[in-house]
Structure 1
Amino acid sequence: MTETFKSFIMLTNANVTGKYKYRDIFQILPAPDHFPRAPYLEAHHPCLLEVRYTFTPDSSKRMPDKTEVSSWIQRKDYENKIIHEIKTLFGVFSFSKFVSTQDVHSWTIRTESGCALDPEWRQLSYFANEHQHEISEFTNSTISQIEENQTAESYRFGARFTGSDFSIPDLLSEILDAYYSLDQDNKSAFLRSATLFNNAIKINQISPSVSFACFVSSIESLVAHIHKEEKIEKCKECSAPRYSVTRKFTAFLEKYSSDSKELISFYKQSYGRRSKILHAGALFLGEHVPVEWAESDWEAYHMISGIERICRIAFTNWVLEKYNCPSVQS
């Protein structure tokens, strides 16, 4: 089993000006000065993600044609899993996070000062010359640490300030300790929920209604995992299951988010709205028919922003509970 260090070029939604090292697993550093940068505060900013891992190829793995999967392919897949996991965790626990470029072509218009507004056919991608991918150890940098924010306060606020540099919650290391201490079954369950959560954020610009349903489903997925071993009692007369999905959903959020009467009502309303969206196509205002001038769907805005905050707090508290850490108050 070989110990390996790698340095990956990543893009983030905020400029990385400091460093953050999480134990012997990964480290975030600012990009070197020669890396291309966008001339805007709000853009995709380059940084370096250094990871350490141990890997042994599995000789029993086979391609669809039954030939052995090459060790370099297995290593590449393993590295992709590591990066995906880190990106997914930051998407849930931090408002400064990694972003992905799609290897697609699209019409673009240059935004530099003085450029003609002529459309150009381009590929969306990022790379930098002379980057050393293979490293022997974590870079020992003397730059200052990445700024930390109070976790509970930033979660309640629900966003990062426009133009601010890359920052992290002050409990991030404890949260990551809790996550990495989970057994594989709980890890996989959490990653499924976290993936739904992150997809909900991405989808919001396309469809607020589907985004909202994804947020609710991210919680529902973890609730289903928690109760998967329970025997479901059925009615003797009609064989219908004698349990309420809404009740379990609500009970989970009461425990890991807040048990205030106002929020309990919101949990029930959210689950009901999710069902209407998925089963009856009851979209939020403006999706299937454009809204009128100066009209806005404030109900959708408050429901989506509210469920995002609730998800983030509940996921954090569920993970911290597994590690016997104090909870984040909603």
Structure 2
Amino acid sequence: MTETFRSFIMLTNANVTGKYIYGDKFQILPAPDHFPRTPYAEADHPCLLEIKYNFTPDPTRKMPDQTEVSDWIQRKDHEKKIIHEIMNLFNAFSFSKFVQTQDIHSWTIRTDDNIAIEPEWRQLSYFVRDHQHEISEFTKSPASRIDEINTSEFYNFGGRFVGSDFSIPDLFSYVLDAYYSLAPDNRNALLKSLTLFNNAIKIKPISPSISFACFVSSIESLVDHIHKGVKIDKCKECSAPRYAVTKKFTEFLAKYSSDSKELIKFYKKSYGQRSKILHAGALFLGEHIPAAWAESDWESYHMNSGIERVCRIAFTNWILERHPLNQDMTR
């Protein structure tokens, strides 16, 4: 296998002023001074993501027409998977997150000092011509480490302050340790759940209802993986499964989030609401009938923000339980 280093220009929702190094896998650095920057605090900010990997192309991989998949295509695909994985981990466990750019065209209106408001047809993208993508080793940066915030305070607050710099919870490195130590099937299952979770965040401005269903499904997906292969007893009289889906969902969150009576009621209500949304099209009030500050809208808002926080806490506790140090203590 060939040891490879690569440097990628990334965009984040918070300005990266420090560095974050995770072992010999990857590091995040502030963007060089000559990189274009926005004059606004809340915007997409550039940074560098440097990764290290070992990769050997598979000569047996075929295209749909049975021609060989070129080595450079396989390498690009491998790099894309690594970046996707890192993005999902940051976006799920931190409020400072990467922004996915898309090479699309759209009408735009300038937001600088130009007085005339004239729409312009532009490509939405960010790149720097002289950036060196291929590097021989990780860049040694004099930048100080990025801020690490107490995890409990981080999650209970439920977001980041407007204009704050890129930061992470102080248990994030332990989360990564646990993630990269998981067996491949467990890692893939968690990554699938984190993808659903992050999709829920992206969808929220468009459809709070579908976003809510995705949050619930992100937990349900992991619960289903945990119980894969487990025989479910059925009632002799009616053949209904004794261990219902709602019960598995509720018990998982009671164990990895909170077992308070109030929250257990919230878990059950959330799963019921998810079913209503997906099976009966019962959207939150205010989505299909816009209403101004209706009490029902406030309830929907709190359900959505609440399930997001519960998911993030449950994912964190579930994966930390699988940290190598915790595994050693239970043996």
Answer yes or no: is 1:179 the counterpart of 2:182.
no
| Residue in 2 that maps onto 1:36 | 36
Matching residue of 2:219: 219
Cα-to-partner distance string for 1:133-163 (whole Å, 9 max, x where unaligned)? 1111111111111111111111011101010
CA change 1:5–1:281 in 2 (3 A) is same
Partner residue in 1 for 2:93: 93
Residue deviations 1:167-197 (CA, integer Å, cap 9, x gap): 1111111110000000100000000100000
Q: What CA distance in whole angstroms lies between the structure 1 residues aligned with 2:57 and 2:115?
A: 50
TM-superposed CA distance for 1:290, in Å, is 1.6
Equivalent position of 2:103 in the other structure: 103
> CA deviation digits over 1:82-128, x for unaligned, max 9?
00000000011111011111221111110002342111111111111
Q: Partners in 1 of 2:261 and 2:153 — Cα distance?
A: 21
Distance 2:234 2:214 in 1: 29
For the pair 1:197 / 2:193, whether they are aligned, the reply is: no
SS in 2 for 1:265: helix
Alignment match, 2:288: 288
How many residues are treated as equivalent by the alignment?
A: 325
**Deviant stretches of 4+, over 6 Å:** none
Distance of 1:160 and 1:20 partners within structure 2: 18
- Aligned-pair CA distance for 1:237: 4.1
Provide the C-alpha distance between the structure 2 equivalents of 1:187 and 1:77, rounded to a whole number of angstroms.
19
CA offsets, 1:232-288, max 9 Å, x none?
Answer: 222334433222111110000000000111111110110011111111111101111
Post-superposition Cα deviations, 1:42-66, rounded to whole Å, max 9, x if no partner, equal 0000000000000000011000000
Give the equivalent residue in structure 2 for 1:55.
55
Distance 2:256 2:240 in 1: 29
Give the whole-Å Cα distance in 1 for the aligned partners of 2:103 and 2:242: 48
**CA separation in 2, counterparts of 1:120 and 1:58?**
45
- Aligned partner letter, 2:48: L
Percentage identity across paired residues of the two chains: 74
Please name the residue that 2:129 is paired with: 129
CA–CA separation in structure 2 for the residues paired with 1:263 and 1:226: 22
Residue type of the alignment partner of 1:225: H
RMSD: 1.2
Provide the residue aligned with 1:14 in structure 2.
14
Shifted more, 231-240 versus 59-68: the winner is 231-240
Q: How far 1:289 sits from its partner (Å)?
A: 1.4
- Alpha-carbon displacement from aligned partner over 1:201-238 (angstroms, at most 9, x marks no partner): 00000000000000000000000000012012223344
- In structure 1, how many angstroms separate the alpha carbons of the residues matched to 2:143 and 2:44? 22
Structure 1 unaligned spans of 5+: none
Aligned residue in 1 for 2:67? 67
Matched to 2:218, the amino acid is S
2: CA distance, partners of 1:295 / 1:140: 54
